[in-house]
Amino acid sequence: MQNKTIPFIAGAGNLKKRILFVITQSELGGAQRFLSNLASHLDRDTHEFMVAVGSSGNGDFLRILKAGGIPCQTLKFLKREPALNDIRAVFEIRRLIKNYRPDVLFLNSSKAGFIGSLASVFPTRINAVKVIYRIGGWSFNDPWPKWKKLFWITLEWLSAKWKDVIIVNNQHDLLQAKKLKIEPRVQTVLIHNGVETYKLDLMTKEEAREKLFEKASKHSSRNIRAKNTVGTIANFYPTKGLEYLIGAADCFDANDDLVFFIIGDGELRPELEKMIREKGLEKKVFLLGQIPDAYRFLPAFDVFVLPSVKEGFPWALIEAMSAKLPVIATAVGGIPEIIDDRKNGLLIKPKDPVELADKIKEVLENDRLRNELGIQAHQTVLFKFELDKMVKQIEDLL
């Protein structure tokens, strides 16, 4: 990687740095969490910005931006799935660049990264704008066929030449970029995600549990109660490995005083519902749907599980650690940079529901282990992954 720096100089007569953020989807995910946290904490005395959001998704992200007074608009032709409209999205973003005249084009997520950087150079390069691309986990690590992985590696390698800076959020992705020679014009930098540990507006354990039990009871038309709860928060994507969490639930006896709550929604819901029915887990596993500010319900869980087969640097995990929960997560992507096994959480192999069930049993049966993991998890986030640190690193880069 090149290590030289470039001066980002705002337009003459304007003391504020003008930034155009572009992101592919309007539903809440890791990229949207990063961008909403960043945009709401950037110094508005020195930064002026707008967020352009693709038309895929349920619009939750747009609602959050508008509620926070953050200027935003929808990009009609930028969508998550490949389409004939992709070339129209290039020119749509290019027109926006020329009209808004940003000093920095800040691209978030794979699709926006490729389409947006292409818009900055095609048919001619717009020299006045510097391009930053922030990726929260390389797409080619998704559980895709080999040809699709190679396709996205090629796109990332090619489009890196159109970007000034690439931001990754974990060491694993940084090393992959180096190995695959995904090299921007200037540099690739590592900036970890961060949360406001003491400003998370968490419910009490009693309130959170009661609300989730009520929601589960309405879902199943029966009164749901249990001594212990295991939970996660995730979009229903193949990368999240939720079928392995359901498989772990199937390892417990029907008489175990335990339920599994999965907060989220997405394209795999029909498949997950079918799996729950086929295994007879309707009284044990509950898909609770999207819940606004889902992190507030974290205290309801006795154990937080992240069974992903691919991750970058997951927000849900560090929020659960902030809430002092014992966490169990797969050793993929940036997770081993967060969790020191058996010190501040437990690491497991991906795609192994039996090992996951064993670890859940171990934590639930050992009060001392559960409490120590929760305390150490909180301390890890407090000292290593605070939001202020992330925002300062981004502002320094800008």
Query: Cis before residue 238, ω within 30 degrees of 0?
Result: no
Same-domain pairing of 120 and 237: no
- Residue 373 · residue 345 · CB < 8 Å: yes
pLDDT in tens, the chain (398 residues): 444 433 444 444 458 999 999 999 999 999 999 999 999 999 999 999 999 999 999 899 999 999 999 999 999 999 988 778 899 999 999 999 999 999 999 999 999 999 999 999 999 999 999 999 999 999 999 999 999 999 999 999 999 999 999 999 999 999 999 999 999 999 999 999 999 998 889 999 999 999 999 999 998 878 999 999 999 999 999 999 999 999 999 999 988 999 999 999 999 999 999 999 999 999 999 999 999 899 999 999 999 999 999 999 999 999 999 999 999 999 999 999 999 999 999 999 999 999 999 999 999 999 999 999 999 999 999 999 999 999 999 999 99
For 110-137, give one letter per residue: b (16+ CB within 10 A) or e.
Answer: bbbbbbbbbbbbeeeebeebbbbbbbbb
Domain boundary among 130, 161, 191: 191
Same-domain pairing of 221 and 316: yes
Range of the domain at 355: 197-384
Same-domain pairing of 163 and 203: no
Nearest to 166 by CA among 140, 187, 149: 187
Cβ contacts of 389 within 8 Å, gap of 6 or more: 192, 194
Domain boundary among 143, 170, 191: 191
Same-domain pairing of 243 and 180: no
Q: Reduce the DSSP state of residue 314 to 3 states and report it.
A: coil
Domain count, the chain: 2
- Residue 336 · residue 317 · CB < 8 Å: no
Same-domain pairing of 274 and 316: yes
Q: Domain for residue 162, yes or no?
A: yes
Domain boundary among 191, 214, 246: 191
C-beta atoms surrounding 84 within 10 Å: 7
Nearest to 267 by CA among 125, 114, 61, 58: 58
CATH number at residue 269: 3.40.50.2000
Same-domain pairing of 361 and 225: yes
Q: Domain for residue 103, yes or no?
A: yes
Same-domain pairing of 148 and 221: no
Q: Supply the pTM of this predicted model.
A: 0.90
Could you tell me if residue 327 is left (phi over 0), alpha (psi between -120 and 50 degrees) or otherwise beta? beta
Same-domain pairing of 167 and 208: no
Looking up tokens 């670890």, which residue turns up?
Answer: 359
